[in-house]
Structure 1
Amino acid sequence: MMLRTGFVRASGYAHKVRRVLFAVTRKKVDPKEVVRAAGELNQRIFEKLGELGVDKDDVIRVTVPFTIEEGTIRWDYEKLKIEVYRKSEERNLALAMEEVEERERELDERIKELEELALHLKKTSEEILEKLEELKQEHTSLKLRAEG
């Protein structure tokens, strides 16, 4: 399997790694393992970014293969690839990243709104089912009294 972050500002790579890893391993690995493996990879990326002198405003793209063995994510660090696009050299990419980040923030807000709505709908649905059960019980007891 392969983890690919796509273009991301260096300051935001850790969050992106975690999100992408959760997405590509969904229903294949325990979420605690995803958090552990993401933390391990993020530490390695952090060290490499320091060695490369990457600024937090630079844009990077991370690609790394991994396997899942007995529920554990194992990174192939020999093939870890970090592409660096320096803000000072890549003006257009820096501007494009600002737009991407803004859209990601908007998407996150919309997702949060939908999650809250889904929870509200679930609660409302449960309340409706409770009322239906009450009505059924009342109807049954009325029927029994009328027959009795």
Structure 2
Amino acid sequence: MKLNTGYVRASGYAHKVRRVLFALVKGKVDPKEVVRAAGELNSKIFEEFQKLGVEKEDVVRISVEFSIKDGSIVWDYDTLSIEVYKKSEEERLAKAMEEVEARERELDQKIREVEELALKLRSVAEELVEKIEELKQEHTSLKLKAEMEES
């Protein structure tokens, strides 16, 4: 089985781990074992946070695989993954996203302008085709008229 917290502030990871674990093993493991195993995992995560320099405002996403053996939760720490999104990076990311969104709006506006121009061009092309057809008809009727006068 795999525990995945989703995105959570580092300050709230322990509560999230406990809640997710309870949901995953409901009815399979004694609640006291869930509390014990969550505490064990949270201690390991806290150690990793210290190594990684995680601050309580940072956003993290934690996943780890585990198994249930004889009513006990056994963590596979080799699969422990902690993604860290620093608050300072979050602010830069938010600014970059604003720039991307602004460029997308500009692109949408340019596309609308090109579409409007294409519609105008289509209209002008249709007018040209109509004028050409009129000229052909006039030419054909003049040609017929000239042929009839010759006869």
TM above 0.5, yes or no, is: yes
1:73 counterpart residue number: 73
For structure 2, which runs of at least 5 residues remain unmatched after alignment? 95-151
- Given the superposition, is the C-alpha separation of residues 92 and 69 from structure 1 closer, same or farther in structure 2, using an over 3 Å criterion? farther
The residue matched to 2:54 in structure 1 has which SS? coil
- Given the superposition, is the C-alpha separation of residues 93 and 62 from structure 1 closer, same or farther in structure 2, using an over 3 Å criterion? farther
> What amino acid is aligned across from residue 20 of structure 2 in structure 1?
V
Q: Alignment RMSD, CA only?
A: 1.4
**TM-score, length-scaled by structure 2:** 0.60
Identity %: 68
The residue matched to 1:29 in structure 2 has which SS? coil
Q: Separation in 1 of the partners of 2:93 and 2:39?
A: 27
For structure 1, which runs of at least 5 residues remain unmatched after alignment? 95-148
Q: CA deviation at 1:92?
A: 8.0
Over alpha carbons, which structure has the higher Rg? 2
1:28 counterpart residue number: 28
Are positions 1:83 and 2:83 aligned together? yes
Give matches, 1:1-148, under 5 Å: 1-91=1-91
> What amino acid is aligned across from residue 79 of structure 1 in structure 2?
T
- Given the superposition, is the C-alpha separation of residues 18 and 92 from structure 1 closer, same or farther in structure 2, using an over 3 Å criterion? farther
Q: Deviations over 1:82-124 (max 9, x none)?
A: 0000010013888xxxxxxxxxxxxxxxxxxxxxxxxxxxxxx
The residue matched to 1:80 in structure 2 has which SS? strand
Regions of 4+ moved over 3 Å: none
Q: Separation in 2 of the partners of 1:76 and 1:56?
A: 25
Q: Separation in 1 of the partners of 2:52 and 2:91?
A: 20
Q: Deviations over 1:24-80 (max 9, x none)?
A: 000000000000000000000000000000110000000000000010000000110
- Name the count of aligned residue pairs: 94
**TM-score, length-scaled by structure 1:** 0.62
- Given the superposition, is the C-alpha separation of residues 53 and 68 from structure 1 closer, same or farther in structure 2, using an over 3 Å criterion? same
The residue matched to 1:22 in structure 2 has which SS? helix
